[in-house]
Amino acid sequence: MFPEPPLGPPAPPAPDGAPVPGPNLEFSGSTPYEEYVRADVLSHLQQPLTDDPGEMSFLVTTQVMELWFTLIVHEWETAARGLREDDVPRAMAALKRSTYELRALNACWEPLAHLTPAQFNAFRAALGEASGFQSATYRRLEFLLGEKSAAMLVPYRGAPRIHAELEKALHEPGLYDEVLRWLARRGHAIPGAVVHRDVAERYAPDPAVERVWQQVYAGDQHSPECRLGEALTEVAELVWRWRNDHLVATRRAMGAKVGSGGSAGVAWLEKRAAKHVFPELWTARSHV
Q: How many CB atoms lie within 10 A of CB 220?
A: 11
Cα gap 196→113, rounded to integer Å: 42
Which residue from 142, 132, 155 is spatially nearest to 58, judged by alpha carbons?
132
Is 246 annotated to bind a ligand? Reply is: yes
Dihedral through CA 107, CA 111, CA 112, CA 117, nearest 10? 150
> Count of residues for the chain?
288
> Does the CA dihedral 112-116-121-123 come out positive or negative?
negative
Give the single-character DSSP code of 168: H
Give the single-character DSSP code of 21: P
Q: Are 60 and 46 in contact (CB under 8 A)?
A: yes
Q: Alpha-carbon Rg of the chain, whole angstroms?
A: 24
Is 124 annotated to bind a ligand? Reply is: yes
Q: How far is CA 12 from the centre of its chain?
A: 44
Cα gap 179→232, rounded to integer Å: 9
Q: Binding site for heme, residues?
A: 246
Q: Binding site, residues?
A: 124, 246
Q: Binding site for substrate, residues?
A: 124
